[in-house]
Structure 1
Amino acid sequence: MNRPTEPQKKQELLEQCLATAIEVGVLDASINAIAKRIGTSGRMLVYHFGSKQELERQIISLLETRLREKLWSFHSVSVERDNLTTPLLAMWQHLTSPEMNGLLKLTMELHQRAIQGDLATKGFLERESQQWVDSLSTLTNDRTIGLALFYLFQGAILDFLTTGNAQRGQDAITAFLKSIAA
């Protein structure tokens, strides 16, 4: 069996680090804790990434790519305003599914970092927010409704993560859609 080339090994480690960060919902405080979770050494991570900051930067960059891939499926769909309920509730169901829990928690950790002044994280979140608004605007054929839905989803996700109650978010989405249909 051939040993992976260094770029292949680095990419494999990066994928494992992202998967672990999503699984636990946080970026660990030390490079050794990250290494332990993925079954390698801190030295190996430093060898490939140089520092914890660079590793985190690359994890966030890969996360950005993964989130964009998820959004593209919604970006290419366009529906009539009176037929938004099914795709938006399906999106909500997906976001509140157990497999998304770690990703949502990780995203909230990144929000906290941005609030504390981390400029790189602020930039990442600004790009992601813009992608969401663009996708929701395309889906609804209306920029104002797309923006309102983005903020509705943001609040509902925060409520879901803090209370575990997905029904309130679903109810808020349904109520919003009824209000714009009237």
Structure 2
Amino acid sequence: MEGERVPDERERLLELSARFLLEHGVLDLSLRTLADAIGSSHRVLLYYFDSRETLITDALDEAARLSSVRDASLLGPNGTDADVEQELVRVWRLVSADDQLPLIRLFVQVVALALHNPGPYKNFVDGLQTEWVSAYAAYLRQHGVRPSEADDLAAEIVGLQRGLQLERAIGGSSDMLDRAFAAAAGRWAERVASFA
């Protein structure tokens, strides 16, 4: 069709890889196994991605995009009329929903790889430390929280979110985890309101 974007080969391989990793994970994954599964060769994957680690981190990002939870751009609306508590809970429910479990498990596996061998995963780790915290901090500043307090509170929110996601990945009760996050969101909303 006219105007329809045709993905290039790298994008096609990336999407196929992301879908495979969501289903099978990354632990003990070889490029040959992945290449066979997606109808390619390990040399082609190396040509497009340079290394197994680059492919894994790019595929994790693609998997998050496919799951519609790529980053904290889920946060909104950004005006001061929005209910902070409800917004935090809404985002939590999106990133911890049953359909996100394959992505959460994949994320945990890549974190484990990065902890074991940080060098090849430097870009992943750098993004891990800044992307969500920066987005939450910007959201909080738009609600009147001073910059230094916004950064600290954002780190607290992301820390709890990730901890509860890990608990979710290993079989924690979604109802219990939802209640825990909602209780914290209520306290955070009170702190945000104190800046108004």
The TM-score range, normalised by the shorter chain, is 0.7 to 0.9
Counterpart CA distance in 1 for 2:81 and 2:64 is 25
| CA–CA distance in structure 1, aligned partners of residues 168 and 72 of structure 2 | 24
Residue 89 of structure 2 corresponds to: 89
Residue in structure 2 matched with residue 3 of structure 1 by the alignment: none
Where in structure 2 are the equivalents of 1:5-20 lying within 5 Å? Answer: 8-20=8-20
1:143 paired residue number: 151
Q: Distance in 1 between matches of 2:79 and 2:173?
A: 28
Q: Aligned equivalents of 1:127 and 1:27: distance in 2?
A: 21
After TM superposition, the score normalised by the length of structure 1 is 0.77
Structure 1 distance, partners of 2:46, 2:127, is 24
Provide the TM-score with structure 2 as the length reference.
0.72
For residues 110-162 of structure 1, what are the alpha-carbon distances to aligned partners after superposition, in whole Å with 9 as ceiling and x for unaligned? 11112212312243122133010011112222222211101110111111111
Asked whether 1:49 is paired with 2:27, we answer no
Matched, 1:74 2:74: yes
Q: Identify, as 1 or 2, the structure richer in helix.
A: 1
Gaps of 5+ in 2: 1-6, 142-149, 192-196
| Whole-Å separation in 1 of the counterparts to 2:82 and 2:180 | 16
State whether residues 25 and 104 of structure 1, in contact with CA within 8 Å, keep that contact through their aligned partners in structure 2: no
Which of structure 1's runs of 4+ aligned residues deviate more than 6 A? none
* Alpha-carbon distance between aligned partners in 1 of 2:119 and 2:187, rounded to the nearest angstrom: 37
Unaligned 5+ runs, structure 1: 1-6
Check if 1:152 corresponds to 2:160: yes
Once residues 123 and 70 of structure 2 are traced to their aligned partners in structure 1, the CA distance between those partners, rounded to angstroms, is 19
1:51 CA displacement: 9.4
The corresponding residue for 1:102 is: 102
Indicate the RMSD between aligned Cα atoms, in angstroms: 3.0
Q: Which residue of 1 aligns with 2:144?
A: none
State, as a whole percentage, how many aligned pairs show the same letter.
Answer: 19
